[in-house]
Amino acid sequence: MRMASAASRFVHCAALTLFLGVGSATPADGLPWFDDGRPGPQARQAVALLAAAASHGLEPQDYAAGALLQAVTQASQGPAPEPATIARLEQALTLAMQHYLADVHGGRIDPRQIQRSFTPPRRDEFDPAAYLMAALAARRLPEAAQEAAPRMPLYERLREALARYRALVDHPAWQQPLPPLPAAQRGRVGKLEPGESYAGLALLAQRLIALGDLAPETPAPPRFEGPLVEAVKAFQARHGLAADGVIGTATLAHLQMTPAARVRQIELTLERLRWTPLMQGPRMIVINIPEFVLRAYEVRDGRISVLQEMKVIVGKALDTRTPLFDADMRFIEFSPYWNVPPSIARAETVPRLRRDPGYFVREGFEFVTPDGRVDAALSASKLDALNAGQLRIRQRPGPRNALGDIKFVFPNSDHIFLHHTPATQLFERDRRDFSHGCIRVEQPVALAKFVLRDTPEWTEERIRQAMDRGESATLRLAEPVRVLIAYGTTLVKDGRIHFFDDIYGQDRLLDAALRRASVDRRRIDIQP
């Protein structure tokens, strides 16, 4: 009975550890894990799923995958296990699978652990215990486990990218770092331009071939030129960099990033996708902060059709970060007033007006009293009252208005909205975190057409007229449009994976939170 005893020891440890990890989950009775005293096909399927949890960016150790695999294998061989051993193994498998299904469906942590102001999206009801029972009863456990994961193409494409980058972890192209860039010449520092020589060209070519940016078998040229320059441009385009074919400090930093680091970045994005309701409504607007891009799309028959894509400007990484949440867009304001937030008024507007009183008239400012009266005269006493919260200040509609000529409103506690801007030159920057938190959109007319597409009387001509009228007017939408402000530093576009800088440090926080969660799940050592 030594084999049964060993299985019992493994199962006892796994069952208790998983029970403590799952918390309130309760194992279901009578699940068909065993047939005639031996682990049945579904028990073997379960341990295979748990062992492959890494394909979803999850940690197999969190589900005692190794111990359960060994226990099931031992229970399948030699003398039949004792009833007590079978009971413990059934309990362990049940709890492990419930835990796994909950994680693959909705993520391993509560997003508010890393951002207290995060507004959790509306979620579907998912009961892992009931889901598991139904899957086992129908004898379709592998299919049900796959269906529990986010049902969106991006999730599966990222899983494929995860497998590809895992295969590169031990690739010889990353066994040594790229050499330093050429020394400063003629006043420039750390830059490799086309036509120059570089000691790392062979290693650079090997790395770009492995990443898919350079065609296989392409020989390294004697100088940085030809296909190698084009491959660097392709690499830069995939990493949110200016695709100029010049290797500077930022490009070199991305080239030095190891496949293992990229693996972790993809794993973090998969975790975020498990929280993110990208297919929650028939029409959605999603802003991906690290990418500085807005996409407006329709969801039909489980498929996403992107109808608009445009650049955006988001909150400054240093001090005015755009928060992450989702909400319903309910209004469009044409030729809006800009009601200057008190914090901006005190920190920026009042000091500027004290230095330059002419700024008040040039920018079209006016004061508003608590009872709604408008006062267009500037005085030191009114600035004092503004600082004290006794007055507020706003900017009239017009070509200099900070909100541009249109504002898209989705009521939220952070007072965040989408709007145009007169400072359109900022959209040409590669990194676009310049705002006080609200999001500036590059193509406001195109976005308005998307939002109003089910309201045919609002033609493009009428939208432009309302934006140019110079008189503030608010339009209530007949049907709200869901707006999601999201954060993903990896994305698959046109079959190629793209990576973006972690401008708000959210990846770093999520990585730490997930590692703590894994430690908490494994730290209890149960002795036999």
415-425 residue pLDDT tens? 899 999 999 99
**pLDDT tier for residue 304 given thresholds of 50, 70 and 90:** confident
Q: Are residues 115 and 187 in the same domain?
A: no
Lowest mean pLDDT among 20-24, 338-342, 414-418, 448-452: 20-24
Query: Which two tokens mark 9?
Result: 């020891």
User: Looking at residue 269, what is its pLDDT?
Assistant: 97
**pLDDT tier for residue 27 given thresholds of 50, 70 and 90:** very low
**pLDDT tier for residue 100 given thresholds of 50, 70 and 90:** very high
216-245 residue pLDDT tens? 999 999 999 999 999 999 999 999 999 999
User: Looking at residue 31, what is its pLDDT?
Assistant: 67
What percent of the chain clears pLDDT 90, i.e. is strictly above it? 76
245 belongs to a structural domain: yes
Q: In the listed set 257, 279, 310, which residue is the last one of a domain according to the structure?
A: 257
50 belongs to a structural domain: yes
By residue range, what is the domain housing residue 111? Answer: 2-149
User: Looking at residue 115, what is its pLDDT?
Assistant: 72
Q: Are residues 79 and 110 in the same domain?
A: yes
Q: What is the mean pLDDT of residues 437-453?
A: 96
325 belongs to a structural domain: no
User: Looking at residue 276, what is its pLDDT?
Assistant: 83
Q: Are residues 177 and 238 in the same domain?
A: yes
Q: Distance between CA atoms of 110 and 374, rounded to whole angstroms?
A: 46
330 belongs to a structural domain: no
179 belongs to a structural domain: yes
**pLDDT tier for residue 24 given thresholds of 50, 70 and 90:** very low
Query: Which two tokens mark 493?
Result: 């576009």
Q: Are residues 11 and 144 in the same domain?
A: yes
Q: Are residues 138 and 206 in the same domain?
A: no
**pLDDT tier for residue 184 given thresholds of 50, 70 and 90:** low
Of 11, 27, 22, the residue nearest 67 (C-alpha): 11
Q: What is the mean pLDDT of residues 92-102?
A: 95
Helices (H) and strands (E) in the chain, counts: 18, 17
Contacts of 129 (CB under 8 A, 6+ apart): 25, 26, 27, 28, 98
Query: Which two tokens mark 24?
Result: 């309130």
Average pLDDT over the chain, rounded to an integer: 89
Provide the whole-model pTM.
0.87
| Bridging pattern class, strands 293-300 and 34-35 | unpaired
Q: Are residues 140 and 218 in the same domain?
A: no
User: Looking at residue 185, what is its pLDDT?
Assistant: 54
CA distances from 281 to 105, 293, 330, 369 (A): 18, 19, 14, 41
248 belongs to a structural domain: yes
Q: Distance between CA atoms of 451 and 505, rounded to whole angstroms?
A: 32
Question: Do 273 and 150 contact (CB within 8 A), yes or no?
Answer: yes
Q: Are residues 8 and 145 in the same domain?
A: yes
Question: Do 11 and 92 contact (CB within 8 A), yes or no?
Answer: yes
523: exposed, middle or buried (C-beta count within 10 Å: 0-12, 13-18, 19+)? exposed
User: Looking at residue 189, what is its pLDDT?
Assistant: 64
Q: In the listed set 149, 184, 217, which residue is the last one of a domain according to the structure?
A: 149
Lowest mean pLDDT among 49-63, 123-137, 305-319: 123-137
Q: Are residues 133 and 224 in the same domain?
A: no
Asked if residue 310 has pLDDT above 60, the reply is: yes
User: Looking at residue 14, what is its pLDDT?
Assistant: 43
244-265 residue pLDDT tens? 999 999 999 999 999 999 999 9
Q: In the listed set 234, 257, 280, which residue is the last one of a domain according to the structure?
A: 257
Q: Are residues 65 and 204 in the same domain?
A: no
30: exposed, middle or buried (C-beta count within 10 Å: 0-12, 13-18, 19+)? exposed
Q: Are residues 193 and 137 in the same domain?
A: no
67 belongs to a structural domain: yes
Q: Distance between CA atoms of 173 and 206, rounded to whole angstroms?
A: 6
Work out how many domains the chain is built from and give that number.
2
CA dihedral 497, 501, 503, 506 (to 10 degrees): 60
Asked if residue 329 has pLDDT above 90, the reply is: yes
